[in-house]
A and B are shown apart, each in its own frame.
Chain A
């Protein structure tokens, strides 16, 4: 079974803090994705990566950056957290040209 894990289920941070969200997959998938999910807005793509050290902006990259130094690990970074970044963050991965994305359990981030 494909397993995608995220470093924290719940996280509370203060405005202005630097926040790291980590995602690890164990199936040697090339593609990894970060989404945020908000009521009424659905899942929106923040960043994705096709390979190590490769990254592409999604639909809402502002205020976020990413890092992929190893194939199995994809990190989302909030350089200076703001209250409007309070959300559920979901990581996903997929294999090469395969369409199916497997999701992690999510991180519920609250920025106070």
Chain B
């Protein structure tokens, strides 16, 4: 069974204080790992897709990395508008188009 575990559950940072969110996964044949951002009361918004170990992607203050067991979402010099819940999801070779989601990390950035 595919499993995704995100840590920490919640993270509170000061503006400018860099940190990382973790997504550990157990799947049979990873086809893709996804990061989404979700604001309160809204649907998830796509951030990154990673396909193979060693791959990295960046967007503004966010950088996602992937190893064979986990992914990190690094946040550099965060701003209050980065406050959101960050979701990680994986797609396995045996699951067709289905995604398995972690429970998310709720990030709060204080000014």
A residues with CB within 8 A of B? 4, 31, 33, 40-45, 48, 50, 58, 90, 92, 94, 97, 99-106, 108
Cβ B91 vs Cβ A106 within 8 A? no
A-chain residues with CB within 8 Å of residue B72 when the two chains form the complex: none
- Measured between C-beta atoms, what is the minimum distance from B111 to chain A in Å? 26
Cβ B91 vs Cβ A105 within 8 A? no
Given contacts A50-B96, A58-B98, A99-B97, 12 further A-B contacts (CB under 8 A): A4-B43, A42-B101, A42-B103, A43-B89, A43-B101, A44-B101, A99-B31, A101-B99, A102-B46, A103-B45, A106-B41, A106-B42
Cβ A105 vs Cβ B43 within 8 A? yes
Q: Count how many chain B residues have C-beta atoms less than 8 Å from C-beta atoms of the other chain.
A: 22
Pairs across A and B, CB under 8 Å, 12 listed: A33-B97, A42-B101, A42-B102, A43-B89, A45-B99, A94-B97, A100-B32, A100-B34, A100-B46, A105-B43, A106-B42, A106-B43
Total A-B residue pairs with C-beta atoms closer than 8 Å?
Answer: 53
Cβ A99 vs Cβ B103 within 8 A? no
Cβ A99 vs Cβ B91 within 8 A? yes
Contact with A along B72-111 (1 / 0, CB 8 A): 0000000000000001010100001111011110000000
In the complex, which of the residues B36, B97, B101 contacts A31, with contact meaning CB atoms closer than 8 Å?
B97
Cβ A100 vs Cβ B98 within 8 A? no
